[in-house]
Amino acid sequence: RVNQEIVGDFQIMAEEKKATGKIKENELNFKTDIHAVLMGDSVLDTFYWLSDKRRDVRFELDRLLKEDNKNAKCTNLAVDESTIYNVLYGIQPNRGYVRSRAWNKLEPYPVDNAGFVRPLYLVRNLKDPTHVILSIGGNDARAAFASSFNLEGIYKRMMDQGIIDVDAETCVSISFDPTS
């Protein structure tokens, strides 16, 4: 269900941009060569928690995008357990997730020579990303639950540090509201 909601949100975002005139009819829309990039935590790196590990958010979004355009694609730079720090500076994926990806014949995490996925570096070096979908903050909230947690401040820090300093549309998903 989460996968369907994310994919649906992606479609709505494209339609809203078109309706509000933020893009022109002949510019980027849902039927052009979209390259969506997933960054963040387990909201987007869902494979481990699914009964059919192959039908994760990346697979479903890629499938949906290709229905309208065979050149569209979705790249996963999200890693379960990621925090804001990990999106900025990298994370060494949990060995259990790495083994499970291999066992299920899924694409491995894009790790560097030190074994880290560095999403910010990777997205900046992709040739053609058009959309970045970011889900972050849940693991930070979990770790900092007892302390002051300022989502607005965290989002501003991410902007200041260049987390979304790429030439692509960015959709930020915050799945934890510490005020509720």
pLDDT attached to residue 156: 67
Judged by average pLDDT, the poorest of 24-33, 94-103, 116-125 is 24-33
Rounded CA-CA distance 48/116 in Å is 19
pLDDT, averaged across the chain: 77
Encode pLDDT of 3-18 as tens digits.
555 556 655 665 665 5
pLDDT attached to residue 110: 95
pLDDT attached to residue 109: 96
pLDDT band at 21; cut points 50, 70, 90: low
Q: Which pTM does this prediction carry?
A: 0.68
> Does the pLDDT at position 19 exceed 70?
no
Encode pLDDT of 69-87 as tens digits.
888 999 999 999 999 899 9
pLDDT band at 124; cut points 50, 70, 90: confident
CA distances from 56 to 12, 13, 64 (A): 20, 20, 12
114 with 151: CB under 8 angstroms?
no
pLDDT attached to residue 56: 92
> Does the pLDDT at position 174 exceed 60?
no
Question: Residue 49's closest CA among 87, 14, 97?
Answer: 97
